[in-house]
Structure 1
Amino acid sequence: MALVQPMLKDGGHFTPMVYAGRVKTGFANVNYVKSICETPITATMDKEYSGSTCLQLEHAGQGYHNYQRYLSAWKSWNRFGNGTSDQHLRPPGFGLLHENTTITAQWIDIIDTAKESKKYKRAVNRVSLAMPHAGVFSAARSGENDIMQPEELNSEGTYSLRASVPSPVLNVLCANLNENELAPIVYNMWPNSEEVTMTNWNDDPLGKSPKYQLDAPNATTKNNTVVDELFGWTKNDDKMMLDYPPVFAKLPLAFNTIMNHTSHAWGRDSIYLLGAGGNMDDGTAQNGTYMVCKIHMTLTSKCTTQYNATGSGGSMEALCEDKDPHMAYINSNSSEAESVSMTDWRDIGFDWSNAMSLNAGLTDGAASNARLLTQLMLKENDKGEFDLNPSLPSPAEALAVMSGCTLLMSAIDSPYVMFWNYTTRVPLLDDYTRQYFNGSVKAQQYASGGVDDVSKAWMLILFLVFIMNILVLAYFLFHKGLVTDFSEPPNLFALAVNSPPSHLFAGSCGGGPGGKQYVVNWFVNSEGDHLYMEPGQKAAHGHVEHAHPHMLAPPPPPPPVNMKPGAGGFFAAVVAGATNSFQRLRERGLGFGAKEHPSRHQRLTPISVHAPDRDVELEDAATKTQRDYHKLSKRTSVL
């Protein structure tokens, strides 16, 4: 039973395979993401805002949940003294997909914050958070890939799928600036600027100044800043102005944030945030210190997506850089670039930032999320350096985790390559199509045959039973014919009735044997055609019994097995060896482990074959018994 009972067994290693996944849209297609958002308010009821309203609600639910879990993880790390400034060892990013799949993101392209800050003479906080490709979830559960799901194994089986696909990455760069350094990109600090409101900030154009120039459709300016090199504001693209600095409406109040939300022209891949610090009760003085953050999405080819399925849900994680270099997407397509910018994400980022109340500072909204975020601003440590706080997440890390849900939504039904390889101008297909990707799977499924160490010990017993069955089979092949089983109750009863009484069982009539009578050796003997039972020559403790007066001369030995010379081959030798072994055991009375006794080496035989003493009375008695057995052998059944 222990060997054949089904038990869960781990596959042990990943098996390479080619898998298929469905594709319908490009990465970060905001219109498609809105269309799959579930809401009872349809487009016919609210054509312009139904999709964005639903999407912002989903961003708020997922973003706040992921962010809260991330902050909770930090609380636990601090409780157990695990705080560190080494980003490799800091809590990873967190996410949730389809409400039952936990997402673990990985920090990649990690920089030396202290060294980078020293280079630019200000706090520089740059992070990149790689998320797994959400499309692997649907591919793993597609019937086309023929992967046995846990629910098919009574929700007890598991499997891990590694997919060689690109991973979306959230890149966040934050830098601390003072009020004077922000003047070139804050509109209400310009001469002759108008009063800014939520409504007129989106007007085109807004504000004219002889010294500063505002390009309202792109929310950019040609003004130079002290952080142009850091943020890549080269101002070389005069046509699209994609590399121009952003413009913010005003300076936010302490613990408030505002967004650069008037970039209506398509092409810019980033959104920008401006936050104001403040003084805290622990003596931290950040009043008058501001931070500008740039957030954008890219695709990287240096990662692998791993999906782990269980009966109660599952988990997904991004394995990047040295975690699984052999399965990285770049090994499946070596011609791909290491990183590709996704400009379409900016529109999703706008909806996300509004949902997270990150633009509430435009009306001095003092949102709780903005307050906590600005309290995380980097400050000088005891060494006079700007470095990651060992006991707090940085603003860039917080923004990356908070916006990570947008990457999961952006990757649903998106390609398993880093480009849109279809002829449609708009990255959207009328129906689902199929794309293939390299992967490997390791499954835990039911198996039998001693899969664990305890069950393997039973394999020895099973092997011995198998050998015994082979020997028995060989015996019956060479001894054909019917065999009487004397252990069957009818046969045993007939044999006992037709056997003479024994003095060794004296007193057991009607009550059954007891005590030392159980150690008496019994044999089945024959007289002509009559079979009968008789005791052995040894009773309890190996004492030799005197021959009973009614015993006979030894019967002739059984005839040898009639075999032709050379017949039987291997099986004949096996049977002969087994017969000799059993005979030796029988001669010893199967006395395994018995203490050595002087009579042990005497052959154990029935009393009838034991040589009687030369006595006239015994001879007469034996003759009478012989005559009685002869009569018994001639009996016939009257039934």
Structure 2
Amino acid sequence: MDGDEYDVFHARRSFRRQNSSLLPERSYEQAPQEDHEFQNLAPPAEWDEGPVVGLNISGLSKQVKRVPVGSKGQSFTSKDGFTSTVTAPDSLLLGPSRSTPYQNTTNPSEDGKSFRSDRSSYSRLDQQTSQEFSPEVGLLHTHSRIDENCPTHGDILTSPWSWWTISILALAVYSTVFSAVFLGIAFAKPRWGERIGTNGHLSFGNATLLSALLSKTVELSFVTIFVALLGQILSRRAFAKTDRNSGISIAEMTMRSWVMQPGTLITNWIVVRYAASTVLGIMVLIAVLAATFYTTAAEALVAPKPKFGPLEDRTLWGQVSASYANSIWLAQSCETPVQEDPDPEGVGPHPEGDTCLQIDYAGQSFHNFKSFMSDWRERLKVGNTSSDPSSFGGRPEPVATLFDNTTVQGQWITPSRENITADSVRWGRLVQNVTLAMPHANLFNAARDSKNHILQPEDLQGNGEYFIQAAIPAPLINVLCVGMSTAELTPLVVNVSNITDPSTYFPRPTAVDDIFNFGTTGPYDGVQQAPVFPKLPIEYNTLGFISSAYGYDAIYLLAAPPPVDKRQYPTNDYVLCSMKSAQYRNCTTYYRVAQSGGQLSVECDKSTGNTLPYVDAVKDAVIGNWQADWKDVGAEWLRSLSLTAGVNDANASSARLLSQMIPAYSDGNPTVLTSDMPTIGEALAVLAGETALLSSSNSPFVHFWNYSVPILDVPQYQNFKAKVSYKDYASGGTQEWQNLFYVILVAVFLLSSFSLVYLLWTFCLLGRVTDYTEPQNMFALAINSPPSNTMSGTCGAGPSGGLLAKKWQVDMQKVGASPTERNQHPHFYVRCREDGVPVNSSVQRKRRSRPPTIASLTVAESPAVEQYMRLAGKS
């Protein structure tokens, strides 16, 4: 027989099974070299027939014949350069002959004998071994019986006190506790106040980072424990035998990937539909949505963010340093680098402080007046004028500024129902009574006092805002202007050099004494000292008068209108105006602050915003007491604007502008407010509005002074009623639709709680079962399981369609029933329920509190058998 004829086919190895009772290290005899070859060669026509073993690869059930050149078959090229073709026998490619739980195995003694007789070295024939093989030849490898039965080396039901179970339980506790914390925060919507901010315990950036970090760890721990829960449920179901719905499907095995890779719900939607309709499938889908959007839900409902809180009733506190309109305190506190001589008694004079105040008055007053005039100009451009020429409604509101960053909005009020038309008709001359209410400026300081714990914009990295309604009195400026003829002014024009004591000089009665309440009884019951002037002002000029006697509360201005030929309408020869200040009780003060600045405003009388008037907090507050101290403040203001320069015919620009704003008056025609410009009363009120702000900048939050000295060395706190709404870092949603995320937070908490309870109960009472949904465990189980007719044809593209819903169970095969084999560990494998019931011998055992383990093997039968029986529900 030619040697070249038989080198076309040989096996890499050809091992036969030995008795499975032998130890692994004695399963095979020592081979002389890496490659083993056949000992005896059969004639060319046929091979010796051997028993069927393993995968039916090395043991051939049919004779392998020589295939002629040119016939179909697999080929390979040997080292000598010849190409040969081999046709694999049917039993090699088609017939499953591996020993399985569904068939009888070959007799072990025969296997051993065959192995010892047939094993030899193919190299004894002095023929070169080929090193290149076809794909089929590379698979020609047999398994021993121990490999086929695969007796387990570990427990399928283990003690709960292992690193894995303790870690899972710890993560379950973490997920449950912190998901409960996040859920509680989301429902409580706490405001973190000063705890988070620039000066707080945490900065906003760190607080946001901490929230994101905790929410992410909760998400990860939730995914971990839920996958573990899913593995325990499905694995126990795979072992169960008593329930007709026992077993798990391939679609259910993929559930863990839904949670870990939510995108598979889209890419493998066909698999989803076979498992999503079950109770477990619905729970998994909920868990997928919860895990996917948990971080987003926590960011929307838990993470701190700048947000306005509700309008709360508060008692605020503010410091008080001096009485209202205290000119001495204002002069001392005016910021100037020029040092002044010490004044221990504080009675003055304070020339440097007064000079500083005049600069302040002039700068702020003209600035405010310029803004007021700009508003008028804009309204005229758009044609927005008042429809009632006798009312202030629809006319531009008075404006001012405070500390360069706060816009002040005043309001025209009519506490005595003042009306220019009605008043002029009543007195038979031009009479305009204008009252301007301004907000209390000390509210600015109180809002920033640390005692009130109101976060400022800079405390929230510029994102802070707040809103205050305060029940405090509103300072007001009253301007009363009356038209007079030259003859009527004669008693008021005197040579002041002939007056010995101006404080006690009272001129002769005038036609307007009843209007201004002039009298000779002194500063009591509102009686005023009539002004006197050294001369009458020329056109476009004004003169001023400030009484030197203490107790009178008004200052006076005499203005001359333009010449007759320059007037656009007829009016009186002169206008005499008085100005005084008080604190009004029927107003609510508002203060709004944002990063860009603040707005201080006031709402009085019947205004819709007058919701917290001062009179509601102090029931016995009077309508208004004229403040005599303001006269000293008004005096410096009047001089700073050059409104007294008419004595020298200075033609000051401020006086010229005011004189052109005198309203029209003529007998027989109604007197109305000018529609194209403000009146002289409005202009003077706006210019003097700055004095009301400065007078109240450190004054009490009540309408009276209840201290023994007018200036306090140490500022004292006073409280007042207020409503406050401020923006700080708070949890909770900012939009209504974000409430949908509550479902996510609730779902994570409930599923985490359920997972913790279930895992704790099963681990402590039943033990931990091997999770066969994990890829490595399923791979080890599947590769040591017999082929299934159900899965026929799925080795290439995988299962699809109804195969995904087929139920699979984990089953057991014992080694044998003889006394010597009872202590051998069983073999576990997976099978489809539709493939039939395997032949298993089982012994009913008495249930123990906890199954034994392989490590503590002291019984006659493997503990893995009892573990299986418990999981299968057979013991």
Are 2:613 and 1:328 equivalent residues in the alignment?
yes
Counterpart residue identity of residue 438, structure 2: M
Are 2:306 and 1:20 equivalent residues in the alignment?
no
Residue pair 2:304, 2:731 contacting (<8 A) in 1 also = yes
Tell me by how many angstroms 1:341 deviates.
Answer: 1.1
Tell me: CA distance 1:505–1:94, structure 2 relative to 1, closer, same or farther (3 Å): same
Residue pair 1:8, 1:446 contacting (<8 A) in 2 also = yes
CA distance in 2, matches of 1:322, 1:434: 31
TM alignment of 1:414-425, pairs within 5 A? 414-424=699-709
Residue pair 1:521, 1:535 contacting (<8 A) in 2 also = no
Worse-matched range after superposition: 409-418 or 289-298? 409-418
Tell me: CA distance 1:491–1:359, structure 2 relative to 1, closer, same or farther (3 Å): farther
Q: Which residue of 1 aligns with 2:725?
A: 442
Q: Which residue of 2 aligns with 1:100?
A: 405
CA distance in 2, matches of 1:359, 1:233: 21
Tell me: CA distance 1:554–1:493, structure 2 relative to 1, closer, same or farther (3 Å): closer
Counterpart residue identity of residue 794, structure 2: F
Residue pair 1:279, 1:286 contacting (<8 A) in 2 also = no
SS state at 2:534 partner: coil
Alignment equivalent of 2:585, drawn from 277, 288, 301: 301
Counterpart residue identity of residue 68, structure 1: K
Residue pair 1:168, 1:299 contacting (<8 A) in 2 also = yes
CA distance in 1, matches of 2:636, 2:663: 27
Tell me by how many angstroms 1:245 deviates.
Answer: 1.5
Q: Which residue of 2 aligns with 1:494?
A: 780
Alignment equivalent of 1:230, drawn from 512, 515, 519: 515
Residue pair 1:128, 1:169 contacting (<8 A) in 2 also = yes
CA distance in 1, matches of 2:839, 2:411: 90
Q: Could you list the runs of 5+ residues in structure 1 that have no partner in the other structure?
A: 188-192, 194-204, 208-213, 537-546, 557-562, 564-629, 634-639
SS state at 2:758 partner: helix
TM alignment of 1:240-639, pairs within 5 A? 243-261=528-546, 263-278=547-562, 284-285=568-569, 289-323=573-607, 327-380=612-665, 384-424=669-709, 427-480=710-763, 481-499=767-785, 502-508=791-797, 520-521=804-805, 524-528=808-812, 532=829, 551-553=835-837
CA distance in 2, matches of 1:555, 1:120: 124
CA distance in 2, matches of 1:554, 1:97: 94
Worse-matched range after superposition: 309-318 or 482-491? 482-491
CA distance in 2, matches of 1:390, 1:54: 37
CA distance in 1, matches of 2:827, 2:682: 98
Are 2:479 and 1:172 equivalent residues in the alignment?
yes
Tell me: CA distance 1:532–1:352, structure 2 relative to 1, closer, same or farther (3 Å): farther
Residue pair 1:278, 1:289 contacting (<8 A) in 2 also = no
CA distance in 2, matches of 1:503, 1:238: 117
Tell me by how many angstroms 1:314 deviates.
Answer: 1.5
Q: Which residue of 2 aligns with 1:602?
A: none
CA distance in 2, matches of 1:376, 1:475: 87
Are 2:339 and 1:42 equivalent residues in the alignment?
yes
Are 2:492 and 1:185 equivalent residues in the alignment?
yes
Q: Which residue of 1 aligns with 2:368?
A: 66
Counterpart residue identity of residue 69, structure 1: S
CA distance in 2, matches of 1:238, 1:356: 27
Tell me by how many angstroms 1:437 deviates.
Answer: 2.1
Are 2:5 and 1:5 equivalent residues in the alignment?
no
Tell me: CA distance 1:476–1:376, structure 2 relative to 1, closer, same or farther (3 Å): same
Residue-by-residue CA offset, 1:498-527 (whole Å, 9 max, x unaligned): 45564342434xxxx59x589844655212
Tell me: CA distance 1:401–1:239, structure 2 relative to 1, closer, same or farther (3 Å): closer
Counterpart residue identity of residue 529, structure 2: Y
- Percent of aligned positions with the same letter in both sequences? 35
SS state at 1:327 partner: coil
Tell me by how many angstroms 1:396 deviates.
Answer: 0.9
Worse-matched range after superposition: 101-110 or 326-335? 326-335
Tell me by how many angstroms 1:51 deviates.
Answer: 0.9
Residue pair 1:106, 1:129 contacting (<8 A) in 2 also = yes
Tell me by how many angstroms 1:415 deviates.
Answer: 1.7
SS state at 1:399 partner: helix
Residue pair 1:215, 1:221 contacting (<8 A) in 2 also = no
Counterpart residue identity of residue 494, structure 1: A
Residue pair 2:318, 2:445 contacting (<8 A) in 1 also = yes
Tell me: CA distance 1:230–1:535, structure 2 relative to 1, closer, same or farther (3 Å): farther
Tell me: CA distance 1:92–1:506, structure 2 relative to 1, closer, same or farther (3 Å): same
Residue-by-residue CA offset, 1:202-221 (whole Å, 9 max, x unaligned): xxx514xxxxxx57523953
Tell me: CA distance 1:494–1:67, structure 2 relative to 1, closer, same or farther (3 Å): farther
Bigger radius of gyration among the two: 2
SS state at 1:438 partner: strand
CA distance in 1, matches of 2:742, 2:614: 44
**TM-score, normalised to structure 2's length?**
0.54
Are 2:129 and 1:129 equivalent residues in the alignment?
no
CA distance in 1, matches of 2:431, 2:752: 79
Worse-matched range after superposition: 394-403 or 140-149? 140-149
Residue pair 2:413, 2:604 contacting (<8 A) in 1 also = yes
Tell me: CA distance 1:486–1:374, structure 2 relative to 1, closer, same or farther (3 Å): farther
Residue pair 1:102, 1:316 contacting (<8 A) in 2 also = yes
SS state at 2:411 partner: strand
Residue-by-residue CA offset, 1:561-601 (whole Å, 9 max, x unaligned): xx9xxxxxxxxxxxxxxxxxxxxxxxxxxxxxxxxxxxxxx
Alignment equivalent of 2:359, drawn from 30, 51, 57: 57
CA distance in 2, matches of 1:3, 1:457: 10
CA distance in 1, matches of 2:531, 2:803: 104
Tell me: CA distance 1:29–1:534, structure 2 relative to 1, closer, same or farther (3 Å): same
Residue pair 1:269, 1:346 contacting (<8 A) in 2 also = yes
Tell me by how many angstroms 1:372 deviates.
Answer: 1.6
Tell me: CA distance 1:312–1:498, structure 2 relative to 1, closer, same or farther (3 Å): farther
Residue pair 1:160, 1:308 contacting (<8 A) in 2 also = yes
Residue pair 2:473, 2:585 contacting (<8 A) in 1 also = yes
CA distance in 1, matches of 2:699, 2:663: 36
Tell me: CA distance 1:283–1:475, structure 2 relative to 1, closer, same or farther (3 Å): same
Residue pair 1:172, 1:295 contacting (<8 A) in 2 also = yes
Tell me by how many angstroms 1:433 deviates.
Answer: 1.8
SS state at 2:537 partner: coil
Residue pair 1:43, 1:50 contacting (<8 A) in 2 also = yes
Tell me: CA distance 1:382–1:71, structure 2 relative to 1, closer, same or farther (3 Å): farther
CA distance in 2, matches of 1:225, 1:518: 113
SS state at 1:96 partner: strand
CA distance in 2, matches of 1:142, 1:342: 27
Q: Could you list the runs of 5+ residues in structure 2 that have no partner in the other structure?
A: 1-298, 344-348, 813-825, 841-846, 848-864, 869-875
Residue pair 1:128, 1:400 contacting (<8 A) in 2 also = yes
